[in-house]
Homo-oligomer: A and B are copies of this chain.
């Protein structure tokens, strides 16, 4: 039973929080931005200091590897991403990188024997905040193994051509060329060289905190679907058009949203979540009745049959008249539930038990690079308690003690995996 260092972990949290500090306790650290480059250099410096070999693949995914006792053994890799959303926090993504670093630093400091090379890694552009889509570079690397409908989103050329949301004259490919971190395709994570993947991440929800558990033993990433729900009305002048003749697309959407909540809540699945986070209003002028309103609809649950019931309700919107407006429901994308490797999940659970870290099984509602990786090699995840369940915002917080215990659990799970094939 080895333990990671609270002191070292706390120092890493403090250090990485500087790179992109947005002045209110959080960070804005877009992928390949100057701030993200600083974080990469810090990673490189600390990993080189313990003798790790640094490799960078052609989409800037970084791999720092401590050799094991068997030069022919495949690598066990841990990691996550170091980019953030706009005004994000100091834990989402980077905690998985820091935990992987902490595992390697502990292995080095304690001279822990291991057969397999151990790799700490940074995935490029997980958030997709500046260059969509999210999980871009795990999508590229795992491309050949992904289900066809997911894969379509991650064509290499399309990814290089992805435009900056701040400046459409800039592409991800240009940022990659300018970053100094465009390496060689031969270093990509692959079945040939890599055995297992572990990703530690903050929970991003309140379940562990509510249940007073430090660590989540993650068993799957929830299946989900994403639709766009569109309402078509007629724009007219705010002052001149009698109410009964109006076809107000925003009012139509509001009524439909209330209807969705009522009907879906009647299904009675406490673990079901659904979110309408993005809207479009046209012409979006205070003196005009909106002729178009659109909102996104994202729903997640482990069981496909539950998602099917939700989708049926969503699709039924098309059959109704919404204040004179018509409704179109369009699929954006969906994914099935991705179950983590059962053996690796059991290693995590055993490691938590042996380390005396309070824990429980949990699903991941959010998507992570690990879920694409799972199509390539056996993969699992570890969650660390999030204060108030908040993430993607500046108040995002996890206690350094919990972060350290998360690294300890990952370390010991990795060592179980390392021994297994001895």
B residues in contact with A287, CB < 8 Å: 134, 275, 277, 298, 366
Q: Are B278 and A286 in contact (CB under 8 A)?
A: yes
Q: Are A236 and B288 in contact (CB under 8 A)?
A: no
CB < 8 Å neighbour of A285 from B270, B278, B291: B278
- Which of these binds chain B: A17-25, A65-73, A388-396? A388-396
- Which of these binds chain B: A51-59, A139-147, A200-208? A200-208
Closest Cβ neighbor of A275 among chain B residues: B238
Q: Are A364 and B239 in contact (CB under 8 A)?
A: yes
In Å, the complex CA distance between A238 and B261 comes to: 15
Q: Are A238 and B300 in contact (CB under 8 A)?
A: yes
- What are 13 pairs between A and B in contact, CB < 8 Å? A204-B240, A204-B241, A234-B390, A237-B365, A238-B277, A240-B365, A243-B265, A245-B389, A251-B257, A255-B258, A278-B285, A287-B298, A291-B393
- Is A222 located at the chain interface by the 8 A CB criterion? yes
Q: Are A290 and B261 in contact (CB under 8 A)?
A: no
B residues in contact with A324, CB < 8 Å: none
Report the minimum CB–CB distance from A266 to chain B (whole Å).
Answer: 13
Tell me the residues in window 281-336 of chain A with beta carbons closer than 8 Å to chain B beta carbons. Answer: 281, 283-291, 295-296, 298, 300, 332
Report the minimum CB–CB distance from A88 to chain B (whole Å).
Answer: 10
In Å, the complex CA distance between A287 and B222 comes to: 14
- Is A254 located at the chain interface by the 8 A CB criterion? yes
Q: Are A242 and B205 in contact (CB under 8 A)?
A: yes
- Is A235 located at the chain interface by the 8 A CB criterion? yes
In Å, the complex CA distance between A393 and B235 comes to: 8
Report the minimum CB–CB distance from A322 to chain B (whole Å).
Answer: 12
- Is A101 located at the chain interface by the 8 A CB criterion? no
Report the minimum CB–CB distance from A134 to chain B (whole Å).
Answer: 8
CB < 8 Å neighbour of A366 from B207, B237, B279: B237
B residues in contact with A138, CB < 8 Å: none
- Is A171 located at the chain interface by the 8 A CB criterion? no
For the complex of A and B, the 10 pairs showing the least CB-CB separation, nearest first, are A239-B365, A205-B240, A254-B254, A238-B275, A286-B296, A240-B365, A204-B240, A278-B286, A239-B366, A254-B257
* A240, A288, A366: residue with the most chain B Cβ atoms closer than 10 Å: A240
* A207, A226, A276: residue with the most chain B Cβ atoms closer than 10 Å: A276
B residues in contact with A278, CB < 8 Å: 281, 284-286
Tell me the residues in window 219-265 of chain A with beta carbons closer than 8 Å to chain B beta carbons. Answer: 222, 224, 226, 234-243, 245, 248, 250-251, 253-255, 257-258, 261, 265
